[in-house]
Amino acid sequence: MAESKRNLNTRNLTTIVCAAILIGTEVFGLAFAAGWAIAGIFELGAAVQYGLMAVFSAAGLYVMAKFVQMADKVEPIRG
């Protein structure tokens, strides 16, 4: 059977992409700042500092993926 083609909703796509850029900048800025601050407060060294930044960035990536999924439910990109 042929699948029905659904049109790309560029307005919703633009909204989601712009919001993801804005929120992503804040989330990853927070991840880097938190890793730097925690390592600095407890004098953990550069290696732990970068490790904390990586862990917080991975958590931020998960948050961003969930945000985009939820935003697509509210403002569907296709449809």
Q: Is the CB of residue 6 less than 8 Å from the CB of residue 79? A: yes
* Residue 4 pLDDT class (50, 70, 90 cuts): low
Q: Is the CB of residue 35 less than 8 Å from the CB of residue 53? A: yes
pTM of structure: 0.82
Tens-digit pLDDT profile for residues 36-61: 999 999 999 999 999 999 999 999 99
* Residue 78 pLDDT class (50, 70, 90 cuts): confident
The reported pLDDT for the residue numbered 79 is 74
**In the predicted model, is pLDDT for residue 71 greater than 70?**
yes
SS3 53: helix
Amino acid at 66: K
